[in-house]
Amino acid sequence: MSPKKITGALTLVIFLAHAGLAGAFFGIGKSGKVEVGSPAPEFSGTDLEKNLIQYSSYRGNSVVLLDFWSIYCASCVEEMPQLIEIYNDLKDQGLVVLGINLDSFGTRRVIRFINGLEYTIPYPVIIDKKRTIAMAFNAMVLPTTIVIDASGKIRMYHVGYKKGDEKEIRKVIESSLQKLKRAEKTK
């Protein structure tokens, strides 16, 4: 590596450390490691209709899918109709989907993009402009799809999208919904 590249890399690390972002950039969350089996971090955000969405209101009674995306991420946009289909099929069984948009240029542009889609996004979209939710979940590569069961444990942490991934996502959600249904019967 050339001295110029080393200096650039060190400058980036120093900047990130100073800005308090080094942990998120290098995959180390303040709240601990985020992986399958670990508890989901608490979070809240405002959706496009200015409603406050709090994760705590879903824990215990819903399976939650988080879809971290950007309008400039082609695979995010390719995955979206698959997630919408899963949501429409399973919402009545206790599935909640939250889109977490990571674009930093403003809500109006995201709304314009969504309105220009050939399909409607039927679930809330939270604008995470400061990336606080993304940092809590170490979602730095897009798309990142996370499934959280009703007990608050992460059941799937999936980075990227290729055709067919939706089958595994659906399988994990259906399994989590079956556990939720059994838990409700024993109450």
What residue ranges do the domains of the chain occupy?
1-29, 31-185
Kindly report whether the global pTM for this prediction surpasses the value 0.95.
no
pLDDT for position 133: 98
Please determine, for residue 31, whether its predicted confidence score (pLDDT) is greater than 90: no
pLDDT band at 140 (very low <50, low <70, confident <90, very high): very high
pLDDT in tens, 76-101: 999 999 999 999 999 999 999 999 99
Percent of the chain whose pLDDT exceeds 90: 78
- SS in 3 state form for the chain? CCHHHHHHHHHHHHHHHHHCCHHHHCCCCCCCCCCCCCECCCCEEEECCCCEEEHHHCCCCCEEEEEEECCCCHHHHHHHHHHHHHHHHHHHHCEEEEEEECCCCCHHHHHHHHHCCCCCCCCCEEECCCCHHHHHCCCCCCCEEEEECCCCEEEEEEECCCCCHHHHHHHHHHHHHHHHHHHHHCC
Confidence band of 106 (pLDDT split at 50, 70, 90): confident
31-185 fold: Glutaredoxin (3.40.30)
Is the pLDDT at 7 greater than 60, yes or no?
Answer: no
